[in-house]
Amino acid sequence: MIGLLSLAGACGGAGAQHSTLPPIPEPATVATLVGPLCQGDSCRCADAPGAAGSPTSTATKRYEVRIGPIDNELWVTIDNNVLYKSAERATECFYVDLRSGDHQVGIRAHGDNGFGARVAISELTRDAKARYDSFEFRCGGPGICTKGMLNDYRASLAKYKRHIHDPCGSTKIKGLTWDLGRMPDKLHPSQIFVSLVLDVYNFEPSHPPGDPACASKF
């Protein structure tokens, strides 16, 4: 895979359609969702500290996946979990528990007239009262994703040393790439598929989110 700061070849050429794009998933959430905010195949977004609860096992950590606000469909996959946001709801949140190690993540969006893509993944503290920003992808939302926005996003990744969004947490991003569908106007892609790996470390964070004391950690 191509690293965070080496994405130039992963973004495709204007107007090109790539056979490597996987099929668009079914419009449904099929996942093991956890915590008091989840029921069946949906969850409510946490509106207060601690609302998402904590894992019952010390071998796992709880993560929030927030999709939106955007106007179109979007899918996030984490390993075998498929998280789906419909066009009818601007924002969806999902909660999953992950063990230490690598977890493959995919983000997929499409639209005949363009799309917005906005996904944030956060690691929740064991007491669920704080969160570490583990990863964010944004192109449009509000507005439609453009090739220029993707270039700006790629440039913004340089600020994350060692590919860690919050060094006080215990999550690292690896192998971030994306591929695009056709761009008939050479500006707005018709589809996007983002791929990355969440590397979940097995230690428990001990500093609050954003603490400067974490600057040189792992």
pLDDT 10s digits, 80-134: 999 999 999 999 999 999 999 999 999 999 998 899 999 999 999 888 788 999 9
User: What is residue 11's predicted lDDT score, i.e. its pLDDT?
Assistant: 42
Q: What is the pLDDT averaged over residues 14-36?
A: 78
The residues, ordered by sequence, that sit 6+ positions from 50 with a Cβ below 8 Å of its Cβ are 127, 128, 129
Query: Domain for residue 45, yes or no?
Result: yes
Structural domain contains residue 99: yes
User: What does the alpha-carbon distance between residue 175 and residue 198 come to, in Å, rounded to a whole number?
Assistant: 9
> In whole angstroms, what is the distance from residue 113 CA to residue 156 CA?
26
CA dihedral for 156, 161, 163, 169, sign (positive or negative)? negative
Q: Has residue 137 been placed in a domain? A: yes
Supply the DSSP symbol for 30.
Answer: B
Q: How many domains does the chain have?
A: 1
DSSP H or E stretch at residue 193: strand 191-200
2 in a structural domain: no
Mean pLDDT score across all residues of the chain: 89
User: Could you report the per-residue pLDDT of 38-48, keeping only the tens digit for each?
Assistant: 999 999 999 98
Residue 178 domain-assigned?
A: yes
pLDDT for 217: 66
Select the highest-mean-pLDDT range: 8-12, 110-114, 177-181. 177-181
9-18, 22-31, 114-123, 176-185: range with lowest mean pLDDT: 9-18
Distance CA 42, CA 39 (A): 6
Q: Is 40 helix (H, G, I), strand (E, B) or coil?
A: coil
Phi, psi of 3 (to 5 degrees): -75, 175
**pLDDT of 17 above 80:** no
pLDDT at residue 218 in the model: 59
Half-sphere exposure of 143 (CA within 13 A, CB side): 9
Kindly report, residue by residue over 196-215, the tens digit of the pLDDT. Answer: 999 999 998 989 999 999 98
Residue with tokens 């920003």: 133
Q: What is the pLDDT of residue 216?
A: 73
**Domain housing 64:** 8-17+25-214
Q: CA dist 141 to 91, 175, 202, Å?
A: 11, 24, 33
Asked whether residue 177 is assigned to any structural domain, the reply reads yes
Q: pLDDT at position 135, please?
A: 98
Please indicate, yes or no, if residue 71 is contained in any of the structural domains.
yes
Domain presence at residue 1: no
Give the lowest-confidence range in 4-8, 61-65, 79-83, 85-89: 4-8
